[in-house]
């Protein structure tokens, strides 16, 4: 990594928060574990840092690499800030809370609550993809309920995958990481630069086709598929060339209820018109059996 493209150093003070370490990031951001100096509360900080457009200068300030990058950088800043403002108003037990957002070092920073727990990748690896029906029904209906609130605000997450679903120590599943979130009305096409997680991103993210709740539901369906197969899904490009995604309603019918398997297959349709069009449709199919016996399905997994 170029010295000018590095994250903030450990111990850096950022508007009342002390950076502890880098814990993630992508092409558009750095993600840090930090704590609030006054309250000592741990937080997760996401710093807008589009790597192809900017560099870091001494003192931590972010500047466009070239003058021709300035307009695109400012557009991204404006979008990141407006999304932080909107997401800070969303409070749902299954969506990580954006507690603060502000401008600093010539960029925008989003502060999210820190939660102890493990993400879905750990559970998939531990069980080699044989996560049971009880587990699935303790996690995914709740994530769908949180996603419904996000969609009601005309936001799409656009990066749902096992790494972005945390199972907190308190037993609640949480949808994390708003680094790719976009404010789009159903059917609108996004023309900017997009984050793509191959295997989980839907076709319309590759094609710049009509986006909507159905886009997040594809990613959620592929995440559920990973939970029962233990395998990373093939990309959309691979599926189009030779689709090796077999209906789980045929391959796993002895281990799971038909309503769960049919929900996964339905969400994973390549054609967005054949998928559930909103969270309620998928939630209804997924929970067509009583959920009361599944309410405590997460406890004890990380002991």
| Nearest CA-CA partner of 231 in 128, 131, 160 | 128
Report yes or no on 212 lying in a domain: yes
Domain holding 139, by residue range, is 117-294
**Helical (H) or strand (E) element with 21:** strand 17-26
Based on the fold, state whether residues 126 and 269 are members of the same structural domain: yes
Q: List, for the chain, all residue ranges whose pLDDT scores fall below the cut of 70.
A: 1-3, 179, 191-194, 289-303
Say what the pLDDT of residue 81 is: 85
pLDDT at residue 185, as a whole number = 77
**CATH number of the domain where residue 246 is located:** 1.10.510.10
5, 51 contact by CB (below 8 A): yes
Q: CB–CB of 99/89 below 8 Å?
A: no
Residue 293: its pLDDT value, please? Answer: 39
Domain count, the chain: 2
Is 303 inside a domain boundary?
no
Q: Residue 125 falls within a domain, yes or no?
A: yes
Same domain, 191 and 240: yes
The answer to whether residue 180 is domain-embedded is yes
Q: Is residue 57 included in any domain, yes or no?
A: yes
Q: What pLDDT is attached to residue 2?
A: 59
Of the residues 61, 95, 113, which one is the last residue of a structural domain?
113
Are 137 and 35 within one domain?
Answer: no
For residues 121 and 89, state if they share a domain.
no
pLDDT tens by residue, 80-100: 887 788 788 888 999 988 999
Check whether residue 165 and residue 222 sit in a common domain: yes
**pTM score, two decimals?**
0.84
Same domain for 102 and 169? no
Could you list the beta-strand ranges (E) of 131-276. 155-156, 165-168, 173-175, 182-183
Q: Residue 9's domain is classified under what CATH number?
A: 3.30.200.20
Using CA atoms, how far apart are residues 53 and 73, in angstroms rounded to an integer?
A: 7
Note the pLDDT of residue 132. 93
What is the DSSP code string of 64-129? ESSGGGHHHHHHHHHHHHHHHHHHTT--BTTB--EEEEEEETTEEEEEEE---EEEHHHHHHHHTT
- Of the candidates 92, 113, 134, which is a domain's last residue? 113
Same domain, 141 and 287: yes
């Amino acid at each position: 990594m170029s010295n000018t493209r590095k994250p903030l150093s450990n111990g850096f003070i950022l508007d009342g928060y002390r950076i502890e370490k880098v814990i993630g990031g992508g092409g558009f951001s750095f993600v840090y574990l930090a704590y609030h100096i006054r309250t000592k509360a741990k937080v997760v900080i996401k710093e807008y840092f589009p790597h192809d457009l900017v560099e870091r200068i001494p003192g931590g300030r972010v500047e466009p690499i070239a003058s021709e990058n300035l307009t695109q950088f400012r557009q991204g800043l404006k979008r990141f800030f407006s999304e932080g403002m909107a997401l800070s108003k969303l409070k749902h037990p299954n969506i990580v809370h954006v507690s603060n957002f502000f401008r600093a070092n010539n960029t925008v920073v989003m502060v999210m609550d820190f939660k102890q727990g493990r993400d879905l990748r750990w559970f998939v690896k531990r069980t080699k993809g044989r996560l049971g029906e009880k587990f699935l029904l303790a996690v995914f209906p709740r994530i769908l309920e949180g996603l419904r609130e996000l969609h009601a605000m005309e936001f799409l997450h656009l990066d749902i995958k096992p790494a972005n679903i945390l199972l907190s120590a308190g037993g609640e599943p949480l949808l994390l990481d708003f680094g790719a979130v976009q404010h789009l009305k159903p059917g609108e096409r996004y023309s900017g630069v997009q984050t793509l997680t191959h295997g989980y991103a839907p076709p319309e993210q590759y094609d710049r086709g009509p986006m909507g709740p159905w886009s997040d539901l594809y990613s959620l369906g592929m995440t559920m598929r990973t939970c029962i197969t233990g395998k990373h899904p093939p990309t959309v490009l691979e599926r189009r060339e030779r689709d090796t995604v077999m209906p789980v309603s045929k391959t796993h019918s002895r281990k799971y209820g038909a309503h769960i398997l049919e929900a996964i297959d339905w969400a994973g349709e390549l054609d967005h018109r054949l998928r559930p069009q909103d969270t309620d449709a998928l939630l209804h199919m997924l929970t067509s059996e009583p959920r009361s016996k599944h309410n405590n399905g997460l406890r004890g997994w990380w002991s």
